[in-house]
């Protein structure tokens, strides 16, 4: 009997001992956080292809022409409710950003967050001295899409892509690296393109102190545009350079068309629709651009001779004969990187200033552009 | 499927003349033939854009067809052609080296070698050399093979290896260089100028004449090397002549117009099937005529008359050519007559 009582006592004691520890299910059960409430949304004056909403526990970012790319920027510790599971998760705060385009570099540098850039694809094409110095100091890695090891080594936590690349994004996801589609080049206003810098305020925990600079950019741009609109003559402008008879011409709804219009110019293809470039036949462009007075951004050409070497027929165009061809090659790195596609993205006011100077005042003291001889 | 010879020649010639008129009349701008005699701008477009483009369509259509015919005869293989055997890929490698080579060697640390590519090595010379080297390699390998299928597999492998090299170069090329190479790969006749034609036309005409003069030897090649040698044919000399002509024709057209697929296979077949002959004194001029006609119409479509836009010529040749050849294949069931 005593043995029985001893066994029962041991059994009860064992049960009590075991019950003192929580079950594995109970151990991992998270305490539900208070429901996130809407706080505010970022207001964009010019950018149309981005939306940002701020909630108490996270940010919702939507990008794309139809705002089809949806992201939730949230700290790792926060458990997302099912209703938000369809959003692509970006860890907050982002510490190491990878840029796949120099335009992104320009925007990040403008906002004073160059220290957040940890990797750049084709970094040799970056113009900025600050970034090049950081590359030399191994603070920024040159990233290669085929070499994923370099991405891990650089400890990247967010990749900025201009367009969706499903296969590559899947690989990144498998490595635990988030990606964000940033089609700022599809904006129809140069200020809209530049305004995308605001996104970095929400991705990182370093709130920029660049509000004043941005306000100055808007103010100067609008002032210059107003002055240019008062000039009665509107010189016609063409752009680009053909290769093997195909001419890529920016669409009439694109930011370049708007920049030319704001500079008091008349973009030859201003009536064409769309923001993307159109692949046009050489014959059509020669015929349409017969009346053009100015020619800007002729590819990588830095002289009239190079344009003629590309296609001898281009020498018959009026801007060529009048030597009124301007390219943004003034600020070009030795390896071929154009600052137009870097700081020029964030400073449309300076670009506008250049355009107004040469379109209306025959003034060649320019910052980004230079007249080709 | 035999069509009476004189009807064939008259029909194809008439279709070609109509094609030439349409090609001159319609373009991506609204200018017509009459305006060319009235307005200065229209005359410029005719002289500098439409006529060179038409001439290039005629020359390259004939050149690619003859190149295909010669390769099919030499390898005694019905689906040999500059595109299938990787000869166009060889030309492509040459062009890729001239466009992307500098960036590749610079990235690999061979700075001195990269400066070599900054010299104006023309894409044309690089493409011709690439095509000739590839065709030479394939010829050497073909002498060790017993059947045509193996040859095609080797052609395919070489094409893939070349594509791999080009992919590596693209990886290290700048955005502008890669875009230039991609555009080149789509094929277009619009980039050809009158000064280019001064170089292209005489070379191609010389090759056409040379290939016609080879017609008896080409007929003997169809007997097989042993039999041909038995009747006194100098096989080695004939082979080298064919390689030189086919390589130059494929290389020069590929350099200026990009890789134009399909024409090299389709046109010689259509000539054989419709004319029911393997005689090269007929097939050479017939391939020239049909090649010209085929490419003039393909280019007319790629111009998208009335619109300012353009389509890749390579896509148009395949989309038009594939159904035609499949139709004839199904009806004739024979490749070589």
The ipTM (two decimal places) reads 0.74
Instruction: Give the number of domains in chain A.
Output: 2
- Dihedral, B285, B91, A305, B180 alpha carbons, nearest 10: 110
User: Quick one: pLDDT band at residue A355, thresholds 50, 70, 90?
Assistant: very high
- Beta bridge partners, A154, equal none
Local structure of residue A16 (DSSP, 8 states):
H
Taking the Cβ of residue A122 and every Cβ of chain B, the question of whether any pair is shorter than 8 Å is answered with yes
CB pair distance less than 8 Å for B48 and A246 = no
Contacts of B304 in chain A (CB under 8 A): 281
Does A285 or B171 have the greater pLDDT score? A285
- Residue A30 pLDDT exceeds 70: no
Look at residue A14 in the predicted model and tell me its pLDDT: 55
- A2 at the B interface (CB within 8 A)? no
Average pLDDT along chain B: 82
Taking one residue from A and the other from B, the number of pairs with CB-CB distance under 8 angstroms is 90
Nearest Cα residue in chain B from A312: B193
Cross-chain CB nearest to B45 (options A146, A286, A311): A286
Q: Which residues pair with A97 in a beta bridge?
A: A117, A158
**How many angstroms separate the CA atoms of A67 and A45, rounded?**
16
Contact in structure between B194 and B308 (CB atoms under 8 Å): no
List CB contacts (< 8 A) between A243 and chain B. 179-180, 183-184, 191
> Per-residue DSSP letters for A165-225?
-HHHHHHHHHTT-EEEE--GGG-SSHHHHHGGGGHHHHHSS---S-HHHHHHHHHHHHHHH
Tell how far CA B239 is from the center of its chain.
Answer: 19
Partners of residue B193 in chain A, C-beta under 8 Å: 311-313
On whether both A314 and A206 belong to a single domain, the answer is no
Q: How far apart are CA A99 and CA A123, in angstroms?
A: 9
A243 and B179 in contact by Cβ < 8 A? yes
Same domain, A145 and A248: no
Greatest CA span in chain A, whole angstroms?
Answer: 118
Q: For residue A62, give both structure tokens.
A: 């939507």
Task: Give me the residue from A125, A279, A313 closest to B174, CB to CB.
Answer: A125
Say if residue A51 is in the same domain as residue A182.
yes
pLDDT in tens, B315-328: 888 888 788 767 76
Domain extent at residue A120: 38-212
Q: Which one is predicted more confidently, A41 or A345?
A: A345
* Residues 188-247 (A) with a CB less than 8 A from some CB of B: 242-246
Question: CB B193 to CB A287 under 8 A?
Answer: no
Two tokens, residue B143: 């002498």
Instruction: Please report which confidence band the pLDDT of residue B32 belongs to, taking 50, 70 and 90 as the band edges.
Output: confident
Do A186 and A61 belong to one domain? Answer: yes
pLDDT tens by residue, A120-132: 988 888 999 999 9
Class of residue B316 by CB neighbours under 10 A (exposed 0-12, middle 13-18, buried 19+): buried
Residue A307 domain-assigned (yes or no): yes
Is the domain of A281 the same as that of A191?
Answer: no
According to DSSP, residue A116 is labeled G
Q: Which residue of B has its CA nearest to A310?
A: B191
pLDDT band at A11 (very low <50, low <70, confident <90, very high): low
d(CA A67, CA A182): 11
CA gyration radius, chain A:
27
Spell out which residues of chain B touch residue A311, defining contact as CB-CB under 8 Å. Answer: 191, 193
Separation of alpha carbons B79 and B75, rounded Å: 10
Residue B117 near residue B105, CB atoms below 8 Å:
yes
- Please report which confidence band the pLDDT of residue A27 belongs to, taking 50, 70 and 90 as the band edges: very low
CA proximity to B243, closest of B71, B126, B85: B71
Residue A29 lies in a domain: no
Task: Please tell me the predicted confidence (pLDDT) of residue B52.
Answer: 94
pLDDT at B337 over 60: no
Would you say residue A274 has pLDDT above 80?
yes
pLDDT tens, position by position, B279-309: 999 999 999 999 999 999 999 998 877 777 7
Q: How far is B129 from chain A (nearest CA, A)?
A: 20
Residue A290, chain B, CB below 8 Å: the answer is yes
Least Cα separation, residue A60 to chain B (angstroms): 32
> Which carries the bigger pLDDT value, residue B126 or residue A320?
A320
Q: With an 8 Å Cβ cutoff, is B276 touching chain A?
A: no
Q: Which residue has the higher pLDDT, B172 or A348?
A: A348
Is B264 within 8 Å of chain A by CB?
A: no
Smallest CA–CA distance, residue A255 to chain B, in Å, is: 20
Chain B residues touching A286 at Cβ < 8 A? 29, 44-45, 48-49
Count CB-CB contacts under 10 A for residue A308.
Answer: 14
- Whether B122 has its CB under 8 Å from any CB of chain A: the answer is no
Q: How many CB atoms lie within 10 A of CB B137?
A: 16
Higher pLDDT, A260 or B247: A260
Is residue A217 a part of any domain in this protein? no
Of A212, A239, A262, the domain-final residue: A212
Tens-place pLDDT, residues B39-54: 888 899 889 999 999 9
Q: Which of B337, B270, B306, B302 is nearest to B32 (CA)?
A: B306
> Which residue from B180, B193, B303 is facing A313, i.e. has the nearest CB?
B193
Least confident window among A31-35, A87-91, B196-200, B286-290 = A31-35
Which CATH number goes with the domain that contains A325? Answer: 3.40.50.1980
Which residue of B42, B176, B253, B310 to mutate against A (max A Cβ within 10 Å)?
B310
- CB-nearest to A244 from B45, B171, B183 is B183
Say if residue B100's pLDDT is above 80.
Answer: no
A206 with A105, same domain: the answer is yes
Q: How confident is the model at residue B221 (pLDDT cuts 50, 70, 90)?
A: confident
- Residue A1 inside a domain? The answer is no
A286 and A243 inside one domain: yes
> Nearest Cβ partner of A244 from B176, B188, B303?
B188
d(CA A253, CA B332): 53
Residues A190 and A264 in one domain: no
**Where is average pLDDT lowest: A242-256, B143-157, B201-215, B238-252?**
B143-157
Q: Are A281 and B31 inside 8 Å of each other by CB?
A: no
Give A29's DSSP letter. P
> Which residues have a Cβ under 8 Å from the Cβ of B264 and sit 6 or more positions away?
B64, B65, B67, B68, B71, B81, B82, B83, B84, B250
Give mean pLDDT, residues A106-115: 91
Any domain includes A242: yes
Q: Tell me the fold of B57-332.
A: ABC transporter involved in vitamin B12 uptake, BtuC (1.10.3470)
Domain-ending residue, one of A178, A212, A246: A212
**Using CA atoms in the order A108, A113, A115, A121, what is the torsion angle rounded to 10 degrees?**
-10
The reply to whether A2 falls in a domain is no
Gap between the Cα atoms of B29 and A227, Å rounded: 36
In terms of domains, do A237 and A365 share one? yes
* Residue in B45, B303, B309 closest to A287 by CB: B45
Put simply, the answer to whether A245 touches B31 (Cβ < 8 Å) is no
Mark whether A247 and A367 lie in a shared domain: yes
B191 touches chain A (CB under 8 A): yes
Residue A227's pLDDT is what?
94
Among B289, B330, B177, B110, CA closest to A125: B177
A72 falls within a domain: yes
Q: Are B104 and B304 in contact (CB under 8 A)?
A: no
Query: A223 lies in a domain?
Result: no
> What does the pLDDT average to over A130-141?
91
Interior/surface letters A260-271, b for 16+ CB within 10 angstroms, e for the rest: bbbbbbbbbbbe
For residue A302, pLDDT over 60 is answered with: yes
What percent of chain A shows pLDDT beyond 70? 89
In terms of Cα–Cα distance, which of A221, A235, A296, A222 is closest to A264? A235
Number of other CB atoms surrounding residue A69 within 10 Å: 21
**Domain shared by A237 and A202, yes or no:** no
Q: Considering only CB atoms, which chain B residues are within 8 Å of A144?
A: 171
Give residue limits of the domains in chain B. Answer: 57-332
Highest mean pLDDT among A185-194, A299-308, B139-148: A185-194
Give B126-183 pLDDT, tens digit per residue. 877 888 888 778 778 777 776 656 777 777 788 888 888 888 887 777 777 777 788 8
B219: closest CA of chain A, how far (Å): 38
Cα-Cα-Cα-Cα torsion B2, B5, B9, B12, nearest 10 degrees, comes to -10
The strand pairing partners of A38, in sequence order, are A55
Q: B309–A246: do the CB atoms touch at under 8 Å?
A: no
Q: Which of B175, B195, B310 sits opposite A281 (nearest CB)?
A: B310
CA distance B158 to chain A (A): 23
Contact B309 A286 (CB under 8 A): no
Question: How close does chain A come to B28, measured CA to CA in Å?
Answer: 5
Q: Does B102 touch chain A (CB under 8 A)?
A: no
> Do residue A205 and residue A256 come from a single domain?
no
């Amino acid at each position: 009997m005593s043995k029985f009582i001893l066994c029962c006592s041991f059994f009860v004691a064992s049960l009590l001992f075991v019950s003192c520890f929580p079950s594995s299910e109970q151990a991992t059960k998270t305490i539900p956080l208070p429901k996130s409430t809407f706080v505010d949304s970022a207001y964009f004056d010019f950018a149309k292809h981005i939306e940002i909403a701020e909630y108490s526990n996270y940010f919702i970012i939507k990008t794309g022409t139809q705002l089809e790319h949806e992201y939730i920027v949230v700290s790792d510790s926060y458990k997302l409710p099912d209703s938000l599971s369809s959003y692509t998760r970006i860890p907050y705060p982002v510490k190491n950003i990878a840029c796949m385009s120099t335009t992104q570099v320009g925007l990040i540098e403008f906002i004073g967050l160059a220290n957040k850039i940890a990797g750049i694809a084709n970094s040799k094409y970056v113009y900025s001295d600050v970034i090049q110095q950081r590359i030399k100091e191994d603070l920024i890695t040159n990233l290669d899409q085929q070499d994923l090891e370099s991405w891990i080594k650089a400890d990247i936590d967010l990749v900025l892509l201009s367009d969706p690349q499903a296969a590559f994004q899947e690989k990144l996801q498998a490595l635990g690296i988030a990606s964000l589609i940033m089609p700022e080049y599809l904006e129809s206003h140069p200020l809209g393109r530049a305004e995308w810098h605001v996104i970095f305020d929400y991705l990182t925990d370093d709130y920029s102190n660049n509000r004043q600079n941005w306000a100055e950019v808007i103010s100067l741009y609008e002032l210059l545009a107003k002055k240019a609109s008062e000039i009665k003559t509107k010189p016609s402008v063409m752009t680009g350079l053909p290769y093997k008879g195909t001419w890529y011409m920016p669409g009439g709804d694109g930011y370049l068309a708007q920049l030319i219009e704001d500079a008091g110019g008349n973009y030859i293809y201003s009536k064409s629709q769309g923001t993307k470039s159109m692949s046009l036949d050489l014959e059509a462009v020669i015929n349409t651009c017969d009346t053009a007075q100015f020619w800007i951004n002729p590819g990588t050409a830095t002289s009239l001779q190079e344009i003629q070497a590309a296609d001898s027929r281009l020498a018959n165009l009026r801007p060529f004969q009048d030597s009124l061809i301007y390219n943004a090659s003034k600020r070009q790195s030795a390896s071929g990187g154009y600052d137009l596609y870097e700081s020029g993205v964030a400073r449309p006011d300076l670009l506008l200033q250049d355009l107004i100077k040469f379109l209306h005042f025959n003034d060649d003291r320019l910052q980004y552009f230079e007249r080709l001889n | 499927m035999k069509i009476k010879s004189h009807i064939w020649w008259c029909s194809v010639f008439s279709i070609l003349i109509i094609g030439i008129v349409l090609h001159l009349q319609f373009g991506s701008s609204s200018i017509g033939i009459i305006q060319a005699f009235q307005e200065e701008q229209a005359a410029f477009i005719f002289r500098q854009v439409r006529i060179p483009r038409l001439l290039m369509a005629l020359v390259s259509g004939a050149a690619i067809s003859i190149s295909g015919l010669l390769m099919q005869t030499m390898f005694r293989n019905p689906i040999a052609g500059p595109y299938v055997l990787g000869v166009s890929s060889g030309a492509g490698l040459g062009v890729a080296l001239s466009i992307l080579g500098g960036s590749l060697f610079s990235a690999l640390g061979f700075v001195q070698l990269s400066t070599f590519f900054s010299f104006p090595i023309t894409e044309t010379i690089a493409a011709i050399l690439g095509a000739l080297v590839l065709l030479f390699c394939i010829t050497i390998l073909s002498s060790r093979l017993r059947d045509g299928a193996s040859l095609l597999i080797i052609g395919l492998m070489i094409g893939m290896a070349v594509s791999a090299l080009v992919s590596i170069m693209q990886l290290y090329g700048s955005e502008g260089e890669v875009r230039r190479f991609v555009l080149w790969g789509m094929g277009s006749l619009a980039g050809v100028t009158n000064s280019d034609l001064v170089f292209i036309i005489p070379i191609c005409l010389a090759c056409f004449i040379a290939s016609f003069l080879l017609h008896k030897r080409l007929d003997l090649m169809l007997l097989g090397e042993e039999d041909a040698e038995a009747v006194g044919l100098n096989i080695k000399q004939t082979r080298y002549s064919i390689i030189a002509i086919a390589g130059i024709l494929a290389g020069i057209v590929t350099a200026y117009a990009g890789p134009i697929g399909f024409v090299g296979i389709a046109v010689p077949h259509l000539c054989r099937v419709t004319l029911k002959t393997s005689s090269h004194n007929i097939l050479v001029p017939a391939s020239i005529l049909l090649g010209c006609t085929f490419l003039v119409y393909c280019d007319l479509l790629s111009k998208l008359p009335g619109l300012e836009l353009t389509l890749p010529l390579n896509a148009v040749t395949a989309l038009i050519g594939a159904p035609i050849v499949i139709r004839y294949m199904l009806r004739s069931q024979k490749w070589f007559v």
